[in-house]
Amino acid sequence: MDNPHKRKKQPEQVRRALLDAATRLAVEGGVASVTVQAVSEAAGVTKGGFLHHFPSKQALVTAVFEELLETVDRDLDARLAADPKSHGRFSRAYVEAVFDMDPDTDGGAWAALSMSWLTDPGLRALWAGWFQARVDRHRDTDDSVALTMVRMAADGVWLADLAGVAVEDREALRERLIKATRRPAR
């Protein structure tokens, strides 16, 4: 490991290393394992370097969570763009994203941070604001009780996945939820 005191300053690379280390630690040991000391060591950065980029552990965890939301946004936007039928488009994209996420691989960071946002008011508010903005943005195509129920059912599958609870007839459930998004609103 090179000496962090003698390296050329590269603020974006240092910030990226801190975010990546925090994500990795959260996936491996939960958010409790994300400490200033552990993240600094894993990123090869001094504590002072950590604090230069993030004033606290909470600020780092929030930044990781914001990046995850941006990743979900990009995924949803790609799914929306590929769907030619407008009615229920957002709900279909949401269901597909949930069913395609594997908590043991690409969803690992979600799994780690999701348990935190359930108990952390700041992260919960961030999630709620993000989700409500998406719902509001797609109100013209997805504003019905039936589509809200579809998204809530997808959330149930997501929570079951995070908890390691098997979802019976997973593919049949996915197909039924997608089918429910195709029915015109009444």
Contact (Cβ atoms closer than 8 angstroms) between residue 145 and residue 180? no
Total domains present in the chain: 2
126 and 144 housed in the same domain? yes
Whether pTM > 0.75 for this model: the answer is yes
pLDDT in tens, 72-126: 899 999 999 999 999 999 999 999 999 998 766 655 666 667 777 778 898 899 9
Among the listed residues 161, 58, 42, the one whose alpha carbon sits nearest the alpha carbon of residue 102: 161
Q: What is the spatial distance between Cα 140 and Cα 56, in angstroms, rounded to a whole number?
A: 40
pLDDT one-digit tens code per residue, 12-64: 899 999 999 998 888 888 788 899 999 999 999 999 999 999 999 999 999 99
| Residues 167, 121 share a domain | yes
Question: Which residues constitute the domain of residue 96?
Answer: 64-182
